[in-house]
Copies of this chain bind each other. A is one copy, B any other.
């Protein structure tokens, strides 16, 4: 090669995680939370993501236990579903994105909301004990929080990591500050998105680095 670079995938991961651990302020996290934060930082390419990451007590442990017990992952967008590393999943867990379900456009029209929010309606029967990963749409997170005030189902944990300029920060504050005892993992502020969300899910799936 004309270029000097590492071609060994395992070594790239190892050095990446070592760089993150050398540079990032990971104090205050327990071992499971640290592992999740490191993969979120890895996906973002940003050490200072720790400023905005917030775990509710026991959120990571609950997500790990749920996946080991075979819980499905419910997500708002196909990019998150694509980025979940299937071979890290402990129980060949289902990864479910219902955005393309044929019922969604009519539901969105009836409810007067976005299609990503409307698709949340279709999560209900799989929601109890599930790992929820919202990596794109603030409207999906707001809609879910509204429904959880009415529905009896409770997910094991909600990853609320939508990205953007309109509603994202507010939706994550609503999740992190919820009065329903919902366990949560959020990235406060405007940052977020499918890659960071997948980093978190892939870390919750397996303790292997």
Contact = CB atoms under 8 A, between A and B. Distances in A.
Number of copies: 2
B7 A145 contact: no
Interface stretch (A14-22, A59-67, A126-134, A151-159): A14-22
Contact of A193 (B15, B44, B81, B167): B44
A167 B112 CA distance: 46
Interface residues of A, number: 52
Given A79-B79, A165-B20, A139 B5 contact: yes
Interface in A61-119: 78-79, 81-83, 112-115, 117
A9 interface: yes
A8 B164 CA distance: 15
A165 B79 contact: no
A38 to B, nearest CB: 11
Contacts of A7: 112-114, 117, 139
A166 B42 CA distance: 10
Interface string A3-32: 101111100100110011000000000000
Contacts of A145: 2-3
A146 B5 CA distance: 12
Interface of A: 1-3, 5-9, 12, 15-16, 19-20, 42-46, 78-79, 81-83, 112-115, 117, 138-139, 142-143, 145-146, 149, 163-168, 170-171, 174, 189-195, 198
Sorted from nearest, which 9 A-B pairs have the closest CB atoms? A45-B190, A82-B82, A7-B113, A45-B163, A19-B165, A193-B195, A16-B165, A45-B191, A79-B83
Given A45-B163, A81-B82, A83-B194, 10 more contacts: A2-B149, A3-B174, A6-B167, A7-B117, A19-B165, A43-B163, A45-B190, A78-B82, A78-B83, A194-B194
